[in-house]
Amino acid sequence: MVCAAVRFEHPAARHLVSLLPPQIVIDAADVPDADWLHGTLRLMAAEARQPRPGGETVITRLADILVIQAIRGWIAQAPQAQTGWLGALQDRQIGRAITLIQREPARDWTLESLAAAVAMSRSAFAARFTERVGMPAMQYLTQWRMQLAQSWLQAPGALLADVAERAGYRSEAAFSRAFKRHAGIAPGAARGAQARAAGAEIR
């Protein structure tokens, strides 16, 4: 038996975890390319049986691979993964647009520039994005920026101006207004609440 605990820190990963079922069961007999499963488990077992320098790091990386592959397998087969955000990620053009937003949140994206980046007309892209994701593209962009900003604000010594710039806002005031609309509180208040929560956990 191999047991592991995995922590997901990135906002996209946390969103993914919220969509996963309580359990993912993989039957090797039903997996067409099960070699990855057997091979990864064999390597983990070998590292655990014979401790060597760097073994813990190797096991950690293999565990990451095992989890990722298990999630990939579930996404490829589960009916509920074919709709909503997960389904949109598998759409060639809408998935590409989501990837662009997540990789470059500070870029001055517009509906037109996103549509052009995935070779679609503005109107077709807008309609398809909303249909597949469940919200308009610009709303998704703002939501993603705010999720990132909440994570960045937790970093020790994080400056509001830096967080605003990384989130694609030209001024602290514009960022603060957007953040308050999204989170219901100002960025400074959110940072203070997070710091107090962290202190309470330590105590």
97 and 73 assigned to the same domain: no
69 and 93 assigned to the same domain: no
How do residues 105-162 score in pLDDT, each as one tens digit? 999 999 999 999 999 999 999 999 999 999 999 999 999 999 899 889 888 888 999 9
Residue 13 within any structural domain of the chain: no
Domain of 144: which CATH number? 1.10.10
Residue 38 within any structural domain of the chain: yes
Contact 85, 127 (CB under 8 A): no
Domain count, the chain: 3
Run of H or E residues at 192: helix 187-202
146 and 101 assigned to the same domain: no
Residue 1 within any structural domain of the chain: no
Q: Mean pLDDT check: name the lowest of 27-31, 66-70, 116-120, 162-166.
A: 27-31
Residue 156 within any structural domain of the chain: yes
Q: pLDDT value at position 202? A: 42
- Token pair, residue 94, equals 């809408």
46 and 90 assigned to the same domain: no
What range defines the domain where residue 98 resides?
85-134
Encode burial over 107-120: b for 16+ CB neighbours within 10 A, e otherwise. Answer: eebebeebbebbeb
